[in-house]
Amino acid sequence: MEDTKSCPGPPPDNAASAPGESKQDAADQLRLLIESVTDHAILTLDLHGHVASWNPGAERIKGYRADEIVGQHFSRFYPPEAVAVNKPQRGLDVATREGRFEEDGWRVRKDGSRFWANVVITALHDETGQLRGFGKVTRDFTARYQAQERREMDRLREALRIRDDFLSVASHELRTPLTPLQLKLTAMRRALDQAPNGTVSGERISRDLDVAVRQVRKLVELVDDLLDVSRITVGQMTLERAPTDLAPLLREVVARYLPQAAQVGCSVRLEASAPVCGEWDARRIEQVMTNLISNALKYGAGKPVDIHLHTEAGLAQLTVRDEGIGIAPDALPHIFDRFMRAVSGRNYGGLGLGLYIAHQVVTAHGGDIQVRSEPGHGSTFSVRLPLAPT
């Protein structure tokens, strides 16, 4: 009987590949991946920074074919001023020391044009931990950089526009109290010069001095607002907290504004009978009250102004409501912005700082301030303040 040997069949589908084949497959896949990437320049450098490999993405971004650049030093991609300060070598030194180096900066193509690049250099070590070279990935961020520059230019142009508008408004607002002040002082000087024996009736002096004092107070308030904005901008607004009852403080502020309310035809209804005690900077909270009430009288002239103060859920709650012109929907989200004026300065004065300062003061106390408004139906400002620091 003839002895026969069966031929081995094909290995099953799930048979494990030899280790050498697996490594070769992985290497082939990695090579195919690198060669297929065209939006990243992927290359390797030797220990001294010379180009050792070059992918199609590098050719597309930098403009060199592989046979033109392999063997050349990678400093060729840097502008002269960067080469002059040894920037390419510093990148290799950082990658050697820390394992990785990344930066954004200008690079140079083959044709001499510059592009804004994101560059990552990675140290490559073998199995023994010995440094064998570097991997370098470069992305062309020129379009992103240009878009960012355009946004920055737009922001600067807007800042310049706001500055110019503010300077125009500020000069007008500062001149507004200065003009009657100057006129009154000039009239007083003339009256003294023309009066027999240099005497003027006490009634006239008192009347003119009252006008002068009011105008000086306006100037002081304007300057204080400007100083507050400066402090807030540089982070120097500090709070001097102390136990405070807001009810008598609010009644005092309202009493101060009653003559102005009568002058513009506003009746003021105040509900603040119960104590509202907590730890606040009284001077700053008074500033918030002042800004909200003066704002209500300005834009709600001829209509009632309602002011309520109470405590609820561990918070002091202050609301100031007017029935005036209201705020347009497109201006409402920006009403607490610096220099924001929701209406024309031709009809309503002001620097556009009062609500901004109020918002900053309330926020610094850990509270919040909100507004509800409808054009032609007035506005309601609501302030909530924690009774104690959080």
So what CATH class is 148-233?
Answer: mainly alpha
Report how far residue 357's alpha carbon sits from residue 229's, in angstroms, rounded to the nearest whole number: 7
Give the pair of three-digit tokens for residue 373.
């408004």
Q: Beta strands 368-373 and 41-45: pairing type?
A: unpaired
Ordered DSSP codes for 335-365: TTSTT--SS-TTTS---S-HHHHHHHHHHHT
Q: How far apart are CA 231 and CA 284, in angstroms?
A: 13
**Where in the chain are all domains bearing CATH 3.30.450.20?**
25-140
In which residue ranges of the chain is CATH 3.30.565.10 found? 242-386
Contact 359, 336 (CB under 8 A): yes
Overall fold of domain 242-386: Heat Shock Protein 90 (3.30.565)
C-alpha–C-alpha distance, residues 229 and 361, integer Å: 11
SS3 for 71?
A: coil
Q: In 3-state terms, what secondary structure has residue 372?
A: strand
**Closest to 141 in 3D by CA, of 119, 168, 167, 173:** 119
Outline which parts of the chain fall under CATH 1.10.287.130: 148-233
> What's 73's DSSP letter?
B
Per-residue pLDDT of the chain (390 residues; tens, 9 = 90+): 444 444 444 445 544 555 556 655 655 565 565 666 667 899 999 999 999 999 999 999 999 999 999 999 999 999 999 999 999 999 999 999 999 999 999 999 999 999 999 999 999 999 999 999 999 999 999 999 899 889 999 888 887 776 676 666 566 566 666 777 777 788 777 777 777 766 667 777 777 777 777 777 777 766 776 666 666 665 667 788 999 999 999 999 999 899 889 989 999 999 998 999 999 999 889 989 988 998 899 889 899 999 999 999 889 999 999 999 998 888 888 888 876 665 544 444 555 678 888 898 999 899 999 999 989 899 999 999 999 887
Which position has the token pair 């609820």?
A: 312
Give the CATH superfamily of 25-140. Answer: PAS domain (3.30.450.20)
φ, ψ (nearest 5 deg) of residue 190 = -65, -40
